[in-house]
Amino acid sequence: MALGIVSVLVNNAAKTDDDEVSVLDYHRASFDAHQEVTVRGTFFMSQAVARRMVEAGAGGSIINVASRVGVQVQSGSLGYAIAKAAVIHMTRVMALDLAQPGDGDLHVTSVPLLRGYPRDVEHEASDRAVAGRRRDRTPGAALRRRLPS
């Protein structure tokens, strides 16, 4: 049964059941579980869907749900924070790699969950998002809009 063309993927995979342990006491199995679900799951799902989008020539959007702890240090979330930081950087690499001529109009972005951020940071992020809607279609433009100057 054909489901048609995939135009949007939202990756919201994460393992969040960290015990509050220090770096010295963190176990390899916990680390590997976070990487397997959050990083590998996000990467390989994105890869599979991006291939279908490119083959269809219709473009699309891949949205990876990130987290503030991927960029802002917080105790008690060691494996989760490391994995979400990897997703944020992976998204930047994918955006750069997939924003090539001939790939249709394929966009990759991450969406930080801003709960807990001070209100002025939320406004700043919102202002940047609105400014970024004026699309520059050159390769890597989506990435440039998200990188600090």
Give the active site residue among 11, 70, 80, 92. 80
Q: Is the dihedral of CA 97, 99, 102, 107 positive or negative?
A: positive
Active site residue 117: no
What is the enclosing helix (H) or strand (E) of 64? Answer: strand 60-65
CA distance 134 to 120: 23
Q: Which ranges of the chain would DSSP assign to H, the alpha helix? A: 28-34, 41-56, 78-98, 119-131, 141-146
- Report which of 46, 37, 38, 40 is spatially closest to residue 108, judged by C-alpha positions: 46
Catalytic machinery residues: 80
